[in-house]
């Protein structure tokens, strides 16, 4: 378990408001905590299967004395009130498809190097798999871990999709559902550093997604029935938001 880390003031307020609601409306199944590094910064790499799973993962993080900190798509920072809250909570904007895209990983790398814990969704967007299995990953989580020498910890979520399925607006909070978060052993990146080749980084990312999928399979008690979807083959979904 990581040492206790203080929450930014705005997050203390958010937690005070939301945590009692989550405790009443959701059941929790947290497992694999023994794999969390005890000291120093590291990268959490979760799957992304619902608009609400950042809140579920944030709930899990608070329960483990980890201040919730994510890479968040930059348009949300332009939304009045929400943007100010995100900045005050020290979330990191993601500038995908722009010249400032590298700034996101640079900020994440600096935070981890300073001993912070950052959650980076390797898929970069919610799953488009019909059965909500993880897709292939982008390389940001791996590159951040390699640049800092910090552990890369795979995390599988299951349960948020029962409340809100990917890219759908239906919201079904009742009956009360179980939110599963399972942590796996850090990915073996030995022999690699920030100068790793593209092929090496891609291979490490594939190992990461294999680990996340295996963790989710343990939760679900089943294996994927179809090949993994390649995130680079996706067209932009017809929805207001692409990722959380």
β partners of residue 179: 28
Cis peptide before 230 (omega within 30 of 0): no
Looking at 3.40.50.2300, 3.40.1130.10, 3.30.450.30, 3.40.50.460, the CATH number of the domain 24-230 comes to: 3.40.1130.10
β partners of residue 94: 73
Structure tokens at 127: 């799953």
| Per-residue pLDDT tens digits of the chain, which is 244 residues long | 445 688 999 999 999 999 999 999 999 999 999 999 999 999 999 999 999 999 999 999 999 999 999 998 888 888 888 899 899 999 998 876 655 667 788 999 999 999 999 999 999 999 999 999 999 999 999 999 999 999 999 999 999 999 999 999 899 999 999 999 999 999 999 999 989 999 999 999 999 999 999 999 999 999 999 999 999 898 764 443 343 3
Give the number of other CB atoms < 10 A from CB of residue 206: 14
Distance of CA 214 to the CA centre of its chain: 16
User: What pTM does this model have?
Assistant: 0.91
């Amino acid at each position: 378990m990581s040492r206790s880390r203080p929450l930014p003031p705005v997050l203390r307020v958010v937690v005070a408001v939301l945590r009692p609601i989550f405790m009443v409306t959701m059941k929790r199944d947290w497992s694999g905590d023994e794999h969390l590094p005890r000291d120093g910064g590291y990268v959490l790499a979760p799957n992304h299967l619902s608009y609400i799973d950042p809140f579920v993962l944030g709930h899990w993080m608070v329960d483990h004395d980890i201040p919730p900190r994510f890479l968040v798509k930059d348009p949300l920072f332009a939304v009045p009130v929400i943007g100010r809250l995100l900045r005050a909570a020290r979330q990191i904007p993601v500038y995908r498809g722009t010249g400032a895209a590298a700034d996101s990983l640079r900020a994440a790398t600096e935070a981890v190097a300073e001993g912070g814990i950052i959650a980076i969704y390797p898929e970069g967007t919610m799953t488009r798999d019909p059965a909500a299995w993880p897709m292939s990953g982008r390389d940001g989580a791996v590159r951040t871990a390699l640049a800092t020498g910090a552990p890369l910890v795979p995390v599988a979520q299951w349960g948020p999709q029962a409340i809100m399925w990917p890219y759908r607006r239906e919201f079904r909070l009742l009956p009360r559902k179980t939110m599963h978060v399972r942590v796996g052993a850090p990915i073996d990146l030995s022999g690699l550093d920030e100068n790793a080749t593209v092929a090496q980084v891609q291979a490490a990312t594939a190992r990461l997604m294999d680990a996340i999928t295996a963790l989710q399979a343990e939760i679900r008690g089943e294996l994927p029935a179809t090949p993994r979807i390649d995130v680079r083959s996706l067209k932009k979904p017809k929805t207001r938001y692409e990722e959380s």
